[in-house]
């Protein structure tokens, strides 16, 4: 059983707090289009018949968070850009917009794209205003439903407009009118499968109950209905966008989504409810906190636990979670043959840089995990990876000091705790420095499977090649294997077949040094457990890779 603490949701919920008080209104924002994309078939269709190919570059992302009125979202986003981030995850809850005005965030969203070049944004929706919240407390649930009322009102009026009596559909329409052209992925409710103290294995044989899903507190059929409404409204007004469940944690819940329909009685497919939940989302969005997966029972040692707290094992869990989720999708036909495949994104991941309970943490472990996760994500076909979150919300105690479960999540950030006044310059954590280097040296390049195969990596070395039409960058490191240790070493030489005589090696921990790489032979390179970056030196054509730098400005 995997446990996730409720403190995470408290932190995420703070994302929607206002940064300004000025409301804006306006007409429909034009949809983002890509000329290379084939046109979608005319509606009605579903994600069982068509999913638009996703062709954007890999997204280096993070969750901004909320750090008090001294740090408006524009300033947070600028800091994220300075850390190499190219996309961010946001939220637009109805209860916030109903209070502050539907257009209050338009200027901010425009700033993200037009001033900071943050693209392919992710936004999770939900959280009805009190007037539109479902008043029912479903059997077994300790509290009222957290979904919208009137979900089973018709979505559309006879003239094709959104039915104002379907509160959720009307809310989405108002959001899309103002923000649709700035968002690529629409997540339906943050972590609908969040659980605190229960096993979820039974979900493979029955539906999750309202009592088991505290972020929903309603039957899963009503959550699938919410997905269906989202899909229909988004596809009409923003056909280039993708609909996804809001950060799933468990394959068992995904299995239930693919078994049941939005039939409010029992989830059975009927003529009125013609498809299961997989028809109503285009992409797989999941969350993974690998610290909870780095131990296993060793029954050969009387049921004791064996631990693998090191960065290679942690980064591998990001891919392992994707593989587990995709196995479920394939089992129900979402494999590119029966039904279209669904692209995958990760909108929350990280581990703490200090130990908590049995979970180990250190600066080196967190930094190496972040860099390796970004590389392995691209190797496995993940399209975005967002760290939780931009900045720490507690001061880090001395290295090796244990913290409690709440502080564990507070020590996940690209920056150290932000100063209370913006006059203070934010300081990158070791993770932030590693992410900045990885994003700026690899940004705009695509994973190159053929060149990676050409590296002929021994079992002691991991890495990948990234390239575009002009340049190639290799990322290499010695695999870590020892619990609570980032110490690893391996000697590596680029194969003669690649015809690489010399390489430029780039620093990860100094932005200025990134502009002055060390030129060295491509043979007998000593690798450590921290990723290193290499660019081949063309024979007779010396050239320095100039990493694109986005300075953080106050």
pLDDT tens per residue across span 117-147 = 999 999 999 999 999 999 999 999 999 999 9
Classify domain 449-536 at the CATH class level.
Answer: mainly beta
* Number of CB atoms found within 10 A of residue 70's CB: 13
CATH of 7-36+58-444, one of 3.40.50.720, 3.20.20.80, 3.20.10.10, 3.40.50.300: 3.20.20.80
Give the pLDDT of the chain (554 residues) as one tens digit per residue. 333 433 333 333 333 333 333 333 333 333 344 445 566 677 678 999 999 999 999 999 999 999 999 999 999 999 999 999 999 999 999 999 999 999 999 999 999 999 999 999 999 999 999 999 999 999 999 999 999 999 999 999 999 999 999 999 999 999 999 999 999 999 999 999 998 655 688 999 999 999 999 999 999 999 999 999 999 999 999 999 999 999 999 999 999 999 999 999 999 999 999 999 999 999 999 999 999 999 875 555 666 888 999 999 999 999 999 999 999 999 999 999 999 999 999 999 999 999 999 999 999 999 999 999 999 999 999 999 999 999 999 999 999 999 999 999 999 999 999 988 776 789 999 999 999 999 999 999 999 999 999 999 999 999 999 999 999 999 999 999 999 999 999 999 999 999 999 999 998 887 776 788 999 999 999 999 999 999 999 876 555 544 444 434 33
Phi, psi of 124 (to 5 degrees): -100, 145
- pLDDT, residue 548, reads 45
What pLDDT, on the 0 to 100 scale, is given for residue 95?
96
Q: What is the pTM of this model?
A: 0.90
Q: What is the pLDDT of residue 421?
A: 73
Ordered alpha helix ranges (H), 332-414 = 363-379, 405-410
Per-residue model confidence (pLDDT) at position 300: 55
pLDDT on residue 199 = 61
Burial class (CB in 10 A: 0-12, 13-18, 19+), 341: middle
Cα Rg for the chain, rounded, in angstroms? 24
Three-state secondary structure string covering 406-463: HHHHHCCCCECCCCCCCCCCCCECHHHHHHHHHHHHHCCCEECHHHHHHCCCCCCEEE
Phi, psi of 20 (to 5 degrees): -135, 170
- Share in percent of the chain as helix, strand, coil (round to 5): 30, 20, 50
Beta bridge partners of 346: 286, 385
Which three-class secondary structure state does DSSP give residue 70? coil
Q: Please list the residue range(s) of the chain that carry CATH number 3.20.20.80.
A: 7-36+58-444
pLDDT recorded at residue 291: 95
Catalogue the long-range contacts made by 42-46 (C-beta closer than 8 Å, 24 or more residues apart).
43/235, 43/236, 46/231, 46/275, 46/279, 46/280
Provide CB contacts within 8 A for 44, sequence distance 6+.
none
Residues of the chain with CATH 2.60.40: 449-536
């Amino acid at each position: 059983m995997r446990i996730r603490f409720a403190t995470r949701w408290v932190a995420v919920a703070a994302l929607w707090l206002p940064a300004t008080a000025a409301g804006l209104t306006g007409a429909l924002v034009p949809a983002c289009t890509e000329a290379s994309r084939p046109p979608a078939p005319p509606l009605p269709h579903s994600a069982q018949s068509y999913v638009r190919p996703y062709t954007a570059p890999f997204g280096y992302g993070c969750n901004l968070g909320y750090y008090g009125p001294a740090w408006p979202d524009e300033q947070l986003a600028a800091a994220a850009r300075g850390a190499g981030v190219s996309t961010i995850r946001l939220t637009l809850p109805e209860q916030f917009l109903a209070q502050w005005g539907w257009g209050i965030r338009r200027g901010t969203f425009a700033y993200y794209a037009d001033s900071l070049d943050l693209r392919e944004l992710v936004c999770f929706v939900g959280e009805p205003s009190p007037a539109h919240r479902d008043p029912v407390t479903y059997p077994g649930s300790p509290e009222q439903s957290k979904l919208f009322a009137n979900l089973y009102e018709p979505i559309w009026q006879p003239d094709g407009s959104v039915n104002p009596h379907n509160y959720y559909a009307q809310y989405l329409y108002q959001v899309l009118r103002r923000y649709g052209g700035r968002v690529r992925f629409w997540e339906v409710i943050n972590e609908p499968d969040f659980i605190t103290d229960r096993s979820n294995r039974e979900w493979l044989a029955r539906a999750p109950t309202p009592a088991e899903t505290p972020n929903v507190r309603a039957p899963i059929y009503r959550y699938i209905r919410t997905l269906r409404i989202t899909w229909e409204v988004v596809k009409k007004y923003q056909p280039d966008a993708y609909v996804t469940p809001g950060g799933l944690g468990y394959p068992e819940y995904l299995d239930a989504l693919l078994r049941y329909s939005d039939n409010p009685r029992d989830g059975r497919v009927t003529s009125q409810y013609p498809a299961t939940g997989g028809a109503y989302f285009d992409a797989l969005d999941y969350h993974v906190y690998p610290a909870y997966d780095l131990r296993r029972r060793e029954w050969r040692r009387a049921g004791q636990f064996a631990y693998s707290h090191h960065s290679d094992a942690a980064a591998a869990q990001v891919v392992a979670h994707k593989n587990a989720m995709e196995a479920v999708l394939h089992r129900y036909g979402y494999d590119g043959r029966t039904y279209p495949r669904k692209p995958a994104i990760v909108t929350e991941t990280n581990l703490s840089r200090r130990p908590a309970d049995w979970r180990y943490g250190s600066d080196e472990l967190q930094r190496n995990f972040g860099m390796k996760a970004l590389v392995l994500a691209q190797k496995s076909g993940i399209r975005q990876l967002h760290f939780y979150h931009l900045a720490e919300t507690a001061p880090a105690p001395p290295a090796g000091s244990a913290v409690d479960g709440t502080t564990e999540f507070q020590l996940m950030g690209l920056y150290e705790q932000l100063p209370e006044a913006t006059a203070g310059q934010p300081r990158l954590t070791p993770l932030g420095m590693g992410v900045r280097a990885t994003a700026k040296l690899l940004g705009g390049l695509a994973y190159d499977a053929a060149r990676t195969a050409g590296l002929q990596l021994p079992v002691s070395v991991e890495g990948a090649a990234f390239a575009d039409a002009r340049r190639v960058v290799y990322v290499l490191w010695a695999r870590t294997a020892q619990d609570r240790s980032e110490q690893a070493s391996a000697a590596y030489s680029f194969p003669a077949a690649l015809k690489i005589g010399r390489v430029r090696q780039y620093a990860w921990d100094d932005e200025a040094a990134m502009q002055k790489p060390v030129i060295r032979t491509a043979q007998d390179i000593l690798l450590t457990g921290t990723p290193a970056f290499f660019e081949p030196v063309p024979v007779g054509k010396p050239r320095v890779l100039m990493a694109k730098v986005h300075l953080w400005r106050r």
